[in-house]
Amino acid sequence: MEAQSERKAGLLLHTSSFPDAEDIIGNPGPGGRRLLDFMQSASLKVLQVLPMGPIGAGNSPYASFSAFALEPLFLSLADLERDGYVSADQRAAFLEQLTNANRVDFGILFQFKRRLLLENLHGEQLSSAQSVESYSEFCFEEHHWLHDYALFMALRYHYQEKPWFEWPTEHRDRRLIQGIPAFLQQSYEQQCFLQWLMHTQWSSFRNAANQRGIEIMGDCPIFVSHDSADVWAHPELFMLNEHLELDFVAGVPPDYFSETGQRWGNPLYDWPVHQQQGYDWWSRRLARQADLFDSLRIDHFRGFDEYWAIPASSPDARQGSWQPGPGKAFFDAMQEQAGMPLIIAEDLGIITDTVRELLGSTGLPGMRVFEFAPWSEGGFHRTQQWHSILEHDYIPESWPRNCIGYAGTHDNNTFQGWYDEMQPLERYHFFKYLGMLDSRLQQVAARIAGLENQFDALQRMLPVESGNLIIEQGVQRSEVLLQEAYQTRDQILDQTEWPAKAPFEECMQRILESESMLVIIAMQDVLGLGANERMNTPGTSGDHNWSWRLDPDIILDATLADKISRWIASSHR
């Protein structure tokens, strides 16, 4: 998937959201494979998932216990039964706990599915020589992260899932542990076994996707969680003091949306140490991702240019400061390593010139999101601003080839939900962009355009014709007429009955016809779902986040696949 290759379209659907009426959470089993069949029929060439690591705080895939491991709860029980690791009776008893197949109930997930896995899966179940060899090879090749992760998780369960920085000193400091304590041996080996099983199932799923001409795009958060095997095992790579306590944490400064900024709480990297080590940890991290995915989105790309460092003692982000990131040297080092995945830079939000320069120097594709276009009055009020709409970064007509285009991402509202929340003036500009205004609004839009042209022309003449009374009176008269036209427009808008259903297909056609190398469509938007079905609402917490699943009763049939395929074909993707 490179900028000069054919333009493609893909689907955004996290693994936890895959359809499966017989599990609490989506997985790469039979439901996942049926999803791949649907994608193949629909001419969708890329499946984007969110981070796949062990689920941590707030059930967020972006808060994981490891930057290398996979979440064992994604294991397909159907495939485990097929391969003889769980019995039909064990699976049937588990299915009695399933109450809602279109939402992930994390409470039931952690209570029952994890118990099922921990009570029934262990390395002694390996029966064939081929399986034993595969397991041994996996443990050997992945030892550089697997050993610390398995030890970390075994200790975490031993201490009733308390974070590592609350453990006793003899276990809080990884350097004090020699070998594998006897009381942890069984739990340690089980964690290794679960990782092998998950790696095996995911590799099979990825192979099935590739055989259908579908690539898998993963997602890599720039920062790791404080309570993670990575920070516990390698404190020297992070800004911790001699007592293994946080000195600074990650976040973003105050902005238009938040007076106090965002205090994420992740530990920050000690970049000079990473540089001294040749970015070894990062190269191993990305190589591991290349084993799992065909391409990789890296979250918060701007953090490689500058990152916001907040004193750990500060309750919010206001006391932070910008600190230099590793810059291009980091990406040069990664390019020198073999087996690196294609990286997509998440370059959304407030992006400075230096971030743009860094992205340009790396040649990495960035992202464009249609819902971020400024549809409000401030965005497209004046004539020259309306004419420049096609040049705005988030309007499809301006998207470069080397980017990934979206209507919305997992952090956005669904397209229907976004449309439902639009104010009348935003809808006016939106429908004007699509060429879908009704006759009355078309007439007033034409009048406004003419008056704006006249007003702007007179405004440009003022500096040249300073003191010219006729010009000054013309400007005043033109402004009065323009304000009257705006009032007429607003009166019509108050009386306008807009379509209840968002014009997604018309908008999607614009997006697909863009030059972007890849367009990703969220599954909720394919189905026309509303705000209640969005994946995440940033700045909030609760069961509404990260729990959405594709209802297994929704039929992903040939009719829907044909419709999507026609969209894609008509845009020459």
Catalytic residue, from 299, 393, 456, 513: name it: 299
- Looking at residue 450, what is its pLDDT? 87
User: What distance in Å separates the CA atoms of residue 9 and residue 298, rounded to the nearest whole number?
Assistant: 19
| Residue 7: HSE in the Cβ half-sphere, 13 Å Cα cutoff | 21
**Neighbouring residues of 229: CB distance < 8 A, sequence distance ≥ 6:** 65, 66, 68, 69, 145, 148, 149, 151, 152, 153
Q: What is the mean pLDDT of residues 399-419?
A: 97
- Looking at residue 62, what is its pLDDT? 95
Quickly state the pLDDT bin for 415 (edges 50, 70, 90).
Answer: very high
Q: Can 299 be counted among the known catalytic residues?
A: yes
Q: Residue 34 above 60 pLDDT?
A: yes
Q: What is the mean pLDDT of residues 117-127?
A: 87
Q: What is the mean pLDDT of residues 470-490?
A: 88
Contact indicator for 317, 253 with CB cutoff of 8 Å = yes
Q: What is the mean pLDDT of residues 251-264?
A: 85
Phi and psi (nearest 5°) for 323? Answer: -125, 145
Q: Residue 425 above 80 pLDDT?
A: yes
Please give the residue that has the higher pLDDT: either 348 or 292. 292
Q: What is the mean pLDDT of residues 342-357?
A: 93
DSSP characters over 302-326 = GGGTEEEEEETT-SSSTT-EEEE--
Q: What is the mean pLDDT of residues 375-395?
A: 64
Q: What is the mean pLDDT of residues 519-540?
A: 95
Q: Residue 422 above 90 pLDDT?
A: yes
Catalytic residue, from 219, 346, 347, 533: name it: 346
3-state secondary structure of 168: coil
Q: What is the mean pLDDT of residues 65-71?
A: 99
Q: Can 411 be counted among the known catalytic residues?
A: yes
Quickly state the pLDDT bin for 315 (edges 50, 70, 90).
Answer: very high
Counting residues of the chain whose pLDDT is more than 70, the rounded percentage is 95
Catalytic residue, from 2, 357, 411, 557: name it: 411
Ranked by mean pLDDT, the top range of 119-123, 348-352, 501-505, 554-558 is 501-505
How confident is the prediction for the chain on average, in pLDDT?
A: 92
Task: Count CB atoms within 10 A of the CB of residue 488.
Answer: 15
> Residues, the chain, total?
573
Tell me which of 111-115, 236-240, 390-394, 397-401 is least confident: 390-394
Q: What is the mean pLDDT of residues 37-41?
A: 97
Quickly state the pLDDT bin for 470 (edges 50, 70, 90).
Answer: confident
Q: Residue 381 above 60 pLDDT?
A: no
Q: Find tokens 């693994």 and name the residue.
A: 15
- Looking at residue 532, what is its pLDDT? 96
Q: Residue 2 above 50 pLDDT?
A: no
Report residue 543 as tokens.
């069961």
